[in-house]
């Protein structure tokens, strides 16, 4: 849509936030429908949690020393003294709701999905916003690696099926049993390279050593390449679990890369961790989504010890990639009829005709505010509508309407009472013709 932008003095959009304009909505609708469809097929029920939660929910789950909580959260204190935050991610809210609604008493695993806005006060850039949409699937109450593999497969197939070139990068981050020894080895390694780290990583060294591995700074990346790897320090049960996940992925022919640097930016992950990256542009890997197991989170938030695994995919980033790769949403049902009117009386009558056609299931369009027929026909043509019903003073007096075929420009007078029948006849023969053309082309 090309429209003249407002003057600078007008109040503008908040930095890092985004309006979703009508032209882009077809992508959003496509993805929402696809999420619903996947959820139905794999048996996930929708859960909507509030956008604001008590701040300690995120501090305890995502982790106080993570970038997300320590630098990027929109937090505030209400007049009543409550400490609240806009959610930076949705898993914590889902787990809170799982505990609060006693879902532990349901048959496990409880399979839930969400779709909604998240907020992170991050540095805005292409594909990185301060308000963005994620959808996520969570399976709570099962340890079996088959669930991890299934979640990897769902996240992979969701993106692959859109026509994007994606690949799974997977790792295991161990658990409370084996991670402390690994962190010791990692710290030992970085101790000798401390001065070479970027300033953010200097800070992370003590607070969040694991995150040294996924810093984007070139020198830090180089250091990370030679760092000790978690997979070499896994305890027996974590190792067995990870092998189990990979075996299922092999079985289903899902291409994955073992990547020791996948640690994810949130503290709650245990065992399996993965990201789905787009690979079509050589050398420019961008994460479209990621997930992992979080076996300790339910307990951390006050529930019974309950294993779980989930993933989240960012919708803006997926749409950006679809547009970059010129992948367009499947065509929705085209508009079939445009109701055009000339004169006050005709406009009144065409308003009720429009409602009548819409209720009968016709894909119908109008421009009641326009007075000239030329303008209305131009609009109908722009919208790709095949038939225009024209109602003027003469037609009202005669009890008729004109049906104009926009392709042949032929106009026919028909009885007003037979209008639906006449339109259906024309539209049906048109769809038969299109089926024949399609068959011939095959
Ligand atoms: P995370 O919750 O950090 O694991 O991110 C999962 C996915 O959410 C990423 O792969 C992105 O697609 C998306 N995402 C995360 N942060 C942002 C952001 N600031 N802006 C847009 N999308 C984001």
Cβ atoms of residues 272 and 172 within 8 Å: yes
Ligand 1 binding residues, C-beta < 6 A: 89, 120, 122, 127-129, 132, 134, 264-265, 287-290, 312-314, 316-317
Does residue 124 surpass a pLDDT of 60?
A: yes
Same domain, 316 and 348: no
For 348, the token pair is 């009144």
Same domain, 290 and 363: no
Does residue 388 surpass a pLDDT of 90?
A: yes
Same domain, 351 and 320: no
Residue from 137, 312, 318 whose mutation best tests the ligand 1 pocket (most atoms within 8 A of CB): 312
Interval 9-47: pLDDT, tens: 799 999 999 999 999 999 999 999 999 999 999 999 999
Band the pLDDT of 442: cuts 50, 70, 90. low
Interval 101-113: pLDDT, tens: 999 999 999 999 9
Band the pLDDT of 430: cuts 50, 70, 90. confident
Q: Does residue 189 lie in a domain region?
A: no
Interval 230-288: pLDDT, tens: 999 999 999 999 999 999 999 998 989 999 999 887 889 999 999 999 987 654 668 99
By the 10 Å C-beta count (0-12 exposed, 13-18 middle, 19+ buried), 406 is classed as middle
Q: In this predicted model, which residue has the larger pLDDT, 215 or 290?
A: 290
Q: Does residue 368 lie in a domain region?
A: yes
Q: What backbone torsions phi and psi does residue 311 show, to the nearest 5 degrees?
A: -145, 160
Stretch 345-361: mean pLDDT: 95
Distance between Cα 319 and ligand 1 center (Å): 13
Of 293, 324, 355, which residue is a domain's last?
324
Same domain, 319 and 281: yes
Same domain, 284 and 406: no
* Average predicted confidence (pLDDT) for the chain: 93
Question: Beta strands of 174-269 (E only): which ranges?
Answer: 256-258
Residue from 67, 268, 287 whose mutation best tests the ligand 1 pocket (most atoms within 8 A of CB): 287
Band the pLDDT of 437: cuts 50, 70, 90. low
- Domain range enclosing 42: 22-178+234-324
> What does the pLDDT read at residue 383?
93
Q: Does residue 263 lie in a domain region?
A: yes
Q: What backbone torsions phi and psi does residue 234 show, to the nearest 5 degrees?
A: -70, 145
Residue from 132, 294, 321 whose mutation best tests the ligand 1 pocket (most atoms within 8 A of CB): 132
- Residues of the chain with pLDDT > 90, as a percent, come to 86
Cβ atoms of residues 96 and 102 within 8 Å: no
> What does the pLDDT read at residue 266?
82
Q: How far is CA 421 from CA 179, 357, 389, 418, in A?
A: 72, 11, 13, 5
Same domain, 293 and 423: no
Same domain, 146 and 238: yes
Does residue 1 surpass a pLDDT of 60?
A: no
Does residue 203 surpass a pLDDT of 70?
A: yes
Q: Does residue 191 lie in a domain region?
A: no
Distance between Cα 213 and ligand 1 center (Å): 18
Stretch 73-83: mean pLDDT: 98
- Ligand 1 atom nearest 130 alpha carbon: 19
Band the pLDDT of 204: cuts 50, 70, 90. confident
> What does the pLDDT read at residue 7?
67
The SS3 call for residue 138 is strand
Least confident piece of the model among 1-5, 76-80, 138-142: 1-5
Structural domains of the chain, count: 2
Q: Does residue 313 lie in a domain region?
A: yes
Q: Residue 53: which CATH number?
A: 3.30.930.10
Distance between Cα 66 and ligand 1 center (Å): 15
* CA 27/CA 340 separation, integer angstroms: 30
Distance between Cα 166 and ligand 1 center (Å): 16
Closest residue by Cα to atom 3, ligand 1, is 265
* CA 112/CA 101 separation, integer angstroms: 13
Residue at token pair 């790709």: 384
């Amino acid at each position: 849509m090309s429209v003249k932008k407002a003057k600078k003095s007008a109040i503008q959009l908040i930095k890092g936030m985004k309006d979703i304009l009508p032209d882009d909505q077809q992508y959003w609708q496509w993805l929402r429908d696809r999420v619903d469809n996947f959820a139905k097929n794999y048996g996930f029920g929708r859960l909507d949690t509030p956008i604001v939660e008590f701040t300690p929910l995120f501090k305890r789950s995502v982790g106080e020393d993570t970038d997300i909580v320590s630098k990027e959260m929109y937090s505030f204190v209400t007049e009543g003294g409550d400490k609240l935050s806009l959610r930076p991610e949705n898993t914590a809210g889902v787990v809170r709701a799982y505990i609060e609604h006693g879902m532990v008493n349901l048959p496990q695993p409880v399979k839930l999905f969400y779709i909604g806005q998240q907020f992170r006060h991050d540095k805005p850039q292409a594909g990185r916003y301060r308000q963005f949409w994620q959808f996520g699937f969570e399976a709570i109450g099962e340890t079996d690696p088959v669930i991890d593999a299934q979640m990897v497969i769902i996240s992979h197939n969701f993106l692959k099926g859109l026509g994007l070139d994606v690949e799974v990068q997977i790792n295991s981050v161990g658990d409370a049993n084996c991670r402390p020894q690994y962190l010791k080895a990692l710290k030992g390694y970085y101790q000798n390279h401390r001065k070479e780290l970027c300033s953010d990583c200097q800070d992370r060294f003590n607070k969040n050593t694991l995150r040294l591995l996924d810093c984007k700074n070139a020198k830090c990346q180089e250091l990370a390449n030679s760092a000790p790897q978690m997979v070499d320090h896994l305890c027996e049960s974590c190792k067995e679990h990870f092998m189990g996940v990979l075996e299922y992925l092999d079985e289903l022919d899902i291409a994955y890369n073992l990547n020791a640097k996948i640690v994810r930016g949130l503290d709650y992950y245990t065992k399996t961790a993965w990201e789905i990256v787009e690979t079509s542009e050589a050398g420019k890997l961008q994460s479209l989504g990621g997930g992992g197991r979080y076996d300790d989170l339910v307990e951390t938030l006050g529930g019974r010890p309950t294993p779980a695994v989930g993933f989240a995919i960012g919708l803006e980033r997926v749409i950006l990639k679809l547009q970059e790769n010129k992948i367009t949403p499947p065509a929705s049902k085209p508009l079939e009829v445009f109701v055009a009117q000339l004169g006050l009386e005709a406009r009144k009558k065409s308003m009720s005709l429009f409602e009548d056609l819409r209720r009968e299931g016709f894909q119908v369009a109008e421009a009641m505010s326009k007075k000239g027929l030329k303008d209305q026909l131009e609009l109908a043509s722009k919208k790709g509508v095949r038939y225009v019903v024209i109602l003027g003073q003469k037609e009202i007096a005669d009890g008729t309407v004109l049906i104009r075929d926009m392709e042949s420009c032929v106009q026919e007078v028909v009885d007003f009472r037979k209008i639906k029948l006449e339109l259906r006849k024309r539209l049906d023969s048109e769809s038969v013709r299109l089926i024949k053309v399609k068959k011939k082309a095959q």
